[in-house]
């Protein structure tokens, strides 16, 4: 944190810079989709919401590491797995008749991660005719229905609030108190446990 700045000023400034930084590639992607006439209606909503959800997740995730290098490597690996491998895998499993049920369960475990929600929502919008055939529907489902990208958008929107709440809890050391860490001795642990009525 910058010396002399308040906690809220630091986070608001950092968040604004990261949103602007991520907005540029999102706008280029949206322009490219429209310029090439790709059949991806309303996909821009996913991109724009992800711009606000992604930084909050990364801030939360950074609190799990003491060293920047370890956190940076872990986030790159996590984004490779959850932003590329998992969405493609679940999309393939959704098409195969024997694995549709597995895919429909797995996807709910991955939705809380913004990288997955963005990519899976994008793939689902692109594959809505395939979803129509697999589900035996008379017409393609709505873009933001439960079968296509609706859950992705809902999870992206809710993750903004959820991950910011976690960041605030980390900043105010709520987890340190709850887990009796950093300077809370065994004598203080007992009083802490008693204060919670345990």
DSSP 164: H
C-alpha span between 86 and 70 (Å, rounded): 22
Which two structure tokens, joined as six digits, stand for 8? 């809220």
**18 φψ region: left (φ > 0), alpha (ψ -120 to 50), beta (else):** alpha
Which pTM does this prediction carry?
0.86
What's the pLDDT tens digit per position in 40-63?
A: 999 999 999 999 999 999 999 999
C-alpha span between 86 and 106 (Å, rounded): 9
In order of 30, 40, 65, 144, 197, the CA distances from 37 in angstroms are 11, 8, 43, 20, 62
Point out the least confidently predicted range of 57-61, 94-98, 125-129, 165-169.
Answer: 94-98
As a whole number, mean pLDDT of residues 17-33 equals: 97
Strand, coil or helix: 140? coil
Cβ count near 120 (within 10 Å): 27
C-alpha span between 49 and 68 (Å, rounded): 26
What's the pLDDT tens digit per position in 155-180?
A: 999 999 999 999 999 998 888 777 66
C-alpha span between 125 and 149 (Å, rounded): 6
């Amino acid at each position: 944190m910058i010396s002399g700045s308040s906690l809220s000023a630091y986070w608001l400034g950092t968040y604004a810079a990261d949103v602007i930084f991520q907005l540029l590639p999102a706008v280029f992607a949206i322009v490219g989709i429209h310029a090439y006439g790709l059949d991806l209606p309303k996909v821009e909503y996913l991109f724009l919401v992800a711009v606000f959800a992604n930084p909050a997740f990364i801030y939360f995730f950074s609190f799990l590491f003491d060293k920047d290098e370890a956190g940076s490597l872990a986030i790159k690996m996590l984004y490779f797995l959850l932003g590329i491998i998992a969405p493609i895998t679940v999309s393939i499993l959704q098409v195969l008749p024997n694995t549709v049920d597995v895919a429909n369960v797995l996807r709910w475990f991955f939705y809380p991660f913004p990288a997955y929600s963005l990519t899976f929502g994008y793939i689902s919008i692109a594959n809505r005719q395939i979803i129509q055939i697999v589900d035996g529907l008379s017409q393609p489902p709505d873009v933001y229905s439960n079968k296509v990208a609706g859950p992705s958008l809902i999870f992206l929107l809710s993750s903004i609030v959820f991950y910011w709440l976690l960041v605030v809890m980390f900043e105010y050391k709520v987890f340190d108190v709850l887990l009796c860490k950093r300077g809370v001795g065994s004598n203080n642990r007992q009083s802490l446990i008693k204060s919670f009525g345990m």
